[in-house]
Structure 1
Amino acid sequence: MEGEDACRFRLSDLNRRIDYGTVYVCEYCQVPIGDTNDWSGEHVDDNVVLLKAVSWFVKRGIQVTSDDPEDAGSKYLPLSCRKCDNLLGKFYSFTPTHLNYKLDLYNIDNTVIRGCKLGENLQKKISASETPFTLETCHYYEDEIKKEMVVLEMLQDKLLQLEDDILTPADQSP
């Protein structure tokens, strides 16, 4: 009986966040930017979400030295959306000591992203009777497939992480 209790698995052992299924999408073109699996925190005063990683749809610009009084002397890379070129936030490569919480994180502006729960409909579906199949609609479907592939890759990574957590015993001692 004692050995049976030692092998019992509890979901609480995974230290899961309640909102694991949230994907951040660009407010303007709806491409996935990141998800809560890479969530590091948020800074309410700056109105940013701090992410450890982002999707391929986020591109980094050329390094800039800030002259803004609030982060003077900081060096950052502006972040923008690959699809619509909208400015998304900053990636700080150097900060003064009091801003170290922003260092090496993607600081994404809350006003240009939207959080969507997995399974939520991001856009109204186009019915086949309303839209003819043209080259333009073909591009639309290709873009939608690319978005879904990025979300699928994020989910596959998370599944692998969960499988490793489940299959690796919590206590490795003999």
Structure 2
Amino acid sequence: MAEAEISNAVTENPVLVLCSSCRVPLADSGDLVETPEGANVILVKAVTADVEIDEEKVVSTYEQDVFSTLQVLYCKGCNSPIGALYVSTPRHLDYKRDLFNLDPRAVNCYCFDNPHKQRTRMNQKSVNLLNVPFMETQLKKCRTVLGVCERSIKEIEGLFQSSGRP
């Protein structure tokens, strides 16, 4: 989805930015920053906990952002590269500095208000072999939380019964 389409969608409805590989939420339209025309990047002020920032800082040698220092962003769900966080830039790229620069080819966008406006880069299944381990880990965490909640409810019920309340 192009950055212009996202800007148009944001004005109409809230948008959720998802990883195109595993569909993990990465950001939302509330943190979207206006992007200059032709920048071919989605700029956001904040991302979800599902985005991993590489600790290693690298100096770019690509022509469009040569001599910029950046950290690569990865999706925690499938470990796919999804963009960069620019630490230092030449003057003409100041608008990218200290913002999360998401690659439009690496993300999908979902419009909350109207499911027919759902935008995807390609038609794909929501579960694939790459994200099965992540999904299993999330299910295990959910089961753990559910077990803790069940024990807490039983303790509360026991307290009510011992106090003589119905």
Match of 1:51 in 2: 44
1:40 and 1:19 map into 2 onto residues whose CA distance is: 16
User: 1:55 deviation in Å?
Assistant: 0.4
1:43 and 1:59 map into 2 onto residues whose CA distance is: 25
| DSSP 3-state at the match of 2:77 | coil
- The answer to whether residue 38 in structure 2 is matched with residue 38 in structure 1 is no
Identical counterparts, % of pairs: 29
Q: 1:142 and 1:44, CA in 2 relative to 1: closer, same or farther beyond 3 A?
A: farther
- The answer to whether residue 98 in structure 2 is matched with residue 104 in structure 1 is yes
2:125 and 2:80 map into 1 onto residues whose CA distance is: 22
- The answer to whether residue 16 in structure 2 is matched with residue 23 in structure 1 is yes
1:141 and 1:99 map into 2 onto residues whose CA distance is: 38
User: 1:46 deviation in Å?
Assistant: 3.9
| DSSP 3-state at the match of 2:35 | strand
- If asked which structure has higher relative contact order (CA below 8 Å, sep 6+), I would say 2
1:99 and 1:90 map into 2 onto residues whose CA distance is: 13
1:19 and 1:77 map into 2 onto residues whose CA distance is: 32
Identify unmatched segments of 5+ residues in structure 2. 1-9, 119-123, 127-132, 143-166
Match of 2:136 in 1: 139
Counterpart of 1:29, as a letter, is C
1:106 and 1:78 map into 2 onto residues whose CA distance is: 10
CA deviations on 1:107-166 (whole Å, 9 max, x unpaired) are 1000111110126499989xxxxxxxxxx9x838739x7xxxxxxxxxxxxxxxxxxxxx
- The answer to whether residue 71 in structure 2 is matched with residue 77 in structure 1 is yes
- In the alignment, is the contact (CA less than 8 A) between 1:43 and 1:49 conserved in 2? no
Q: 1:25 and 1:75, CA in 2 relative to 1: closer, same or farther beyond 3 A?
A: same
- In the alignment, is the contact (CA less than 8 A) between 2:13 and 2:112 conserved in 1? no
- In the alignment, is the contact (CA less than 8 A) between 1:43 and 1:50 conserved in 2? no
Identify unmatched segments of 5+ residues in structure 1. 1-16, 126-135, 146-174
| DSSP 3-state at the match of 1:85 | coil
2:12 and 2:69 map into 1 onto residues whose CA distance is: 32
Q: 1:97 and 1:141, CA in 2 relative to 1: closer, same or farther beyond 3 A?
A: closer
Aligned residue pairs, count: 118
User: C-alpha root-mean-square deviation of aligned residues, in Å?
Assistant: 3.0
* TM-score w.r.t. length of structure 2: 0.61
User: 1:73 deviation in Å?
Assistant: 1.2
1:43 and 1:142 map into 2 onto residues whose CA distance is: 41
Counterpart of 2:94, as a letter, is N
